[in-house]
Amino acid sequence: MKIAIITETFLPSTDGVVTRLCATIEWLQKNGHEVLIIAPDLGIRKFENAMIRGVPAHTLFFYRDRKFSLPTSSVKKYLQEFCPNVVHVVNPALLGLSGVYYCHHLGLPLVASYHTNIPQYANYYHFSFLLPLLWQYFRALHNQADINLCTSEAVRHELASRGFKNLYVWKRGVELHQFSPQNYDQEMREFLTKGHAQKTLLLYVGRLAAEKGIEKIRTILESSSDFCLALIGDGPHRERLENYFKGSQCLFTGFLHGKELAKAYASADIFVFPSITETLGLVILEAMASGLPIVAARTGPSSEQIADGMTGLLYSPDNLQSLIDAVSKLKEKSIRQEIANNAYKEASKLGWDESSQQLLEFYKQACKETESKTPGT
């Protein structure tokens, strides 16, 4: 099968969407499928054996930390040259608008996937007055697709309530060959704790952005001198966070990748995830696969990944004391180890093969949907 993937973000950017796409593309190619990637032009021309058709990218005023590609007729040209059997538009917004339009124009089967709750982000960037228009816009885009994929059941329910159609849940996965408790590294722990390896090391991995609620973690550091924190990642909120955490036991590492990231996960004690805007939170699975207990805000997507009291602890996002209590409970090493073991066992069931195979079946289903609409078939 020839598959064109049109995405608003790709390498060298780093986030859960890119991680999932890379794992999926690798699996598709390994199983004999040909993939073309259409993405913002960030200087990379190829991933594995998949060609990347770059579209000029620009920094936009509302999010200066990342470059975006605007709608363009180049997408039509790339699709006509490649002649795909199916097109997958990932997070259709700007570049994805072109993908949706030209798929419809060319009569190509279309799968769209929803990974980022952009309308919800509007509350954090002073655009809440645009919420009705944003939902209308994204609903109109997604409802052109034969198949719409969500990364959690909670998001599927929300989108269905807002009039999105043809909704399915795309199974989650994690790179089990990369993340493991065996990656524990004493030198990495010394680095992340600033030489205080005896302390309980809290870890956050992800984009440093306003909607992630990272400031809440400082309340834990203020509750006891037994804790220290490492924030791994970067983003538009970093400078403000550095000022906010000044004087506390907190280290900003910037992005870590590959073996260094795997070591960081495995060398920590507790993974803390305060975000309430996620559609999944892939880093939760990476932490679980690394043998970490999770403390996360109780939301629909996090509740689907974390069995409260078994693989992690969920706290009320409106109650900071419940966050402190959850983390403090895990200071007890025996409790922490039991939950960490449960988390590892659960994550070990979730490699990328099943998720990628499921996606391939969705592609085939979209092709059948298009074929059934074609006159004379």
Q: What is the mean pLDDT of the chain?
A: 95
pLDDT of residue 63: 65
Look at residue 106 in the predicted model and tell me its pLDDT: 97
Tell me the one-letter amino acid at 296: A
pLDDT of residue 146: 97
For 116-130, the pLDDT digits (tens) are: 988 777 777 777 888
Residues 193 and 333 occupy one common structural domain: yes
Do 294 and 270 belong to one domain? Answer: yes
pLDDT value at residue 66: 82
For position 61, what pLDDT does the model report?
A: 67
CB 109 within 8 A of CB 369: yes
Q: How many domains does the chain have?
A: 2
Average pLDDT in the 230-238 region?
Answer: 95
Distance CA 155, CA 114 (A): 9
Quote the pLDDT of residue 371: 87
Q: What is the pLDDT of residue 375?
A: 66
Residues 41 and 130 in one domain: yes
User: 259 and 336: one domain?
Assistant: yes
Same structural domain for residues 121 and 186?
no
Q: Is 63 or 252 the better-scoring residue by pLDDT?
A: 252
Among the listed residues 295, 296, 286, the one whose alpha carbon sits nearest the alpha carbon of residue 348: 286
pLDDT at 377 over 60: no
Rounded Cα distance between 138 and 120, Å, is 12
Q: Is the pLDDT of residue 327 over 60?
A: yes
Q: What is the 3-state secondary structure (H, E, C) of 28-89?
A: HHHCCCEEEEEEECCCCCEECCEEEEEECCEEECCEEEEEECCCCCHHHHHHHHHCCCEEEE
Q: Residue 192 pLDDT more than 60? A: yes
Of 74, 81, 34, 73, the residue nearest 54 (C-alpha): 74
pLDDT in tens, 258-294: 999 999 999 999 999 999 999 999 999 999 999 999 9
Task: Please indicate, yes or no, whether residues 22 and 166 belong to a single structural domain of this protein.
Answer: yes
Average pLDDT in the 286-310 region? 97
Round to whole Å and give the CA distance between 179 and 183: 7
Is the Cβ–Cβ distance between 168 and 151 less than 8 Å? no
The answer on 369 and 258 residing in a single domain is: no
| Average pLDDT estimate for 345-374 | 94
Rounded to an integer, the average pLDDT of 52-72 is 87
Instruction: Clarify whether residues 24 and 157 are in a common domain.
Output: yes
Tell me the pairing of strands 46-47 and 50-55. Answer: antiparallel
For residues 212-220, average pLDDT:
97
pLDDT for position 251:
98
pLDDT at 62: 62
Q: Quick one: what percent of the chain has pLDDT higher than 70? A: 98
**Environment class of residue 51 by beta-carbon count within 10 Å: exposed (0-12), middle (13-18) or buried (19+)?**
middle
pTM across the whole model: 0.94
Residue 238 has pLDDT above 90, yes or no: yes
pLDDT at 126: 72
Residues 119 and 206 in one domain: no
> What local confidence, expressed as pLDDT, does residue 120 receive?
75
Residue 376 above 90 pLDDT?
no
Of 109-123, 304-318, 337-351, the poorest mean pLDDT is in 109-123
CATH code of the domain in which 342 resides? 3.40.50.2000
Does 64 or 74 have the greater pLDDT score? 74
The label of the residue with tokens 């993405």 reads: 39
Q: The domain containing residue 255 runs over which residues?
A: 181-347
pLDDT of residue 125: 73
Positive or negative: CA dihedral 107, 90, 349, 325: negative
The whole-number pLDDT of residue 230 equals: 98
Of residues 172 and 375, more confidently modeled: 172
The pLDDT of residue 65 = 73
pLDDT digit string, tens, across residues 87-116: 999 999 999 999 999 999 999 999 999 999
Cis amide bond preceding 40, omega within 30:
no
Same domain, 203 and 312: yes
Do 78 and 167 lie in one domain? The reply is yes
Give the number of other CB atoms < 10 A from CB of residue 59. 10
Q: What is the mean pLDDT of residues 206-227?
A: 96
Do 204 and 166 lie in a common domain?
A: no
